[in-house]
Amino acid sequence: MNLARTAWDLVPNTRTKDALRVAVQNYRQRGRARFARRGGLYTVDILGFKIVTAEPSFQVTNYIDHFQARHRVSRGEIVIEGGTFWGIFTIILAMQVGPQGRVLAFEPDSISFERTASNLRLNGNPSHVDIISKGLWNREGEISFCERGALGSSAFWDGPGGRRVEIKTITLDRSVFDRKLARVDYVKLNIEGAEIKALEGADETIRRFKPHLAISSDHYLDGNIARGERTCSTVERILEGYGYKTETVKFGTEWVTYGIP
C-alpha cells in the first residue's frame, strides 16, 4: 500500500492524474455519486442534484453520511451550519431545503469564507443562503483565531501555515433573533473546538425550537491535548440537559455527536 502511495505521489499533477482521481472516485462511490471535471471545475451528481465547485468534492458523500445520519434535511427546512470550510456541504443543504427553506452558514476564516462564496456563485448564488463571516461563540465580540484557509482553523490552537487574526463572534441565539426565524430544524457544527462555546450561545434556540443537531466533537476541550478530554462528553451532557437523546459515532478520526429531540 505504501509503495502504491509513493508511486502515485511521484505522478505529476496533470490532467491525466486528475482524470484518474475522478475515475477512481466514480468507481468507489458508484451508485451514490457521479463526478466529472469540465472547464477546470468539478461537478458531482448526488441526491438528484448537480453541484459545481472549484475544488474536488469527493468527500461530499462522507459529509452527508456523517452529519445527516440521524436526520436527513428536507425541503422547506431552516438549517444552521457552523463551519462551511469551502461550502460544499453548504450547497448540498441549500439544494435540500430549496427556495422554500433557509440556510444560515457561519465561516470566520476569511479564506474559507471567500471560497464558500465563490462556490455558491458557481451554483447560482441561491438567495435563501446567508453566509456570515463571524464565528459562533457564547458572546458577541472579538477573539483571537488561527486562520489557515484549510481544515483545522481554530480559536484554540495554531496550525501549519496559519496566522493569528482577530475575528468577530456572534451567538446563534442573536442570529436567530435578528432574522426573526419562526423555527430552526437542523444545526450542524464543525467548528474546531468551539462547539461548547457555540452551544452556550444557543440556549434559547435549543429550548424553543428543539432542532436536530449534528456536532463534530472529536476535539480536545479548550484545546488542551494534555488534559485529554474530548468535547463529545460535554456536548452530550449539555444536550441531555435539554432533554435530548444523544449518540456519538466515530467515523475514523471524525467523531459526530447527534442530538435527537
SS3 at position 167 = strand
Across 220-242, average pLDDT = 88
- Residues making up the chain, counted from first to last: 261
| Count of domains forming the chain | 2
Name the pLDDT band for 4 (thresholds 50, 70, 90).
Answer: low
Same domain, 8 and 126: no
Q: Beta 41-46 vs 141-147: how paired, if at all?
A: unpaired
* Higher pLDDT pick, 228 / 86: 86
Domain residues for the domain of 155 are 68-260
Do 224 and 172 fall into the same domain? yes
More confident residue, 1 or 143: 143
Mean pLDDT of 106-130: 97
- Statement to judge: residues 158 and 202 lie in one domain: yes
Has residue 226 got a pLDDT over 80?
no
Task: Please check whether residues 107 and 216 belong to one and the same domain.
Answer: yes
- Determine the pLDDT at residue 7: 54
9 & 82 share domain: no
Same domain, 105 and 226: yes
Grid cell of 66 as nine digits:
456523517
Both 129 and 41 in one domain: the answer is no
Of residues 219 and 84, more confidently modeled: 84
CA–CA separation, 110 and 154 (whole Å): 12
Nearest by Cα to 225 from 142, 157, 134? 157
| Distance, CA of 200 to CA of 216 (rounded, Å) | 16
Question: Are 165 and 113 in the same domain?
Answer: yes
pTM exceeding the 0.85 threshold for the entire prediction: yes
Query: Mean pLDDT for the chain?
Result: 93
**How confident is the model at residue 9, as a pLDDT?**
61
CB 67 within 8 A of CB 89: yes
Beta bridge partners of 216: 256
Beginning with the edge strand found earlier in the chain, give each strand of the sheet holding 141-147 in spatial order.
135-136, 163-170, 141-147
Residue 63 covered by a domain? no
The CATH number that applies at residue 221 is: 3.40.50.150
pLDDT band at 227 (very low <50, low <70, confident <90, very high): confident
Residues 81 and 166 in one domain: yes
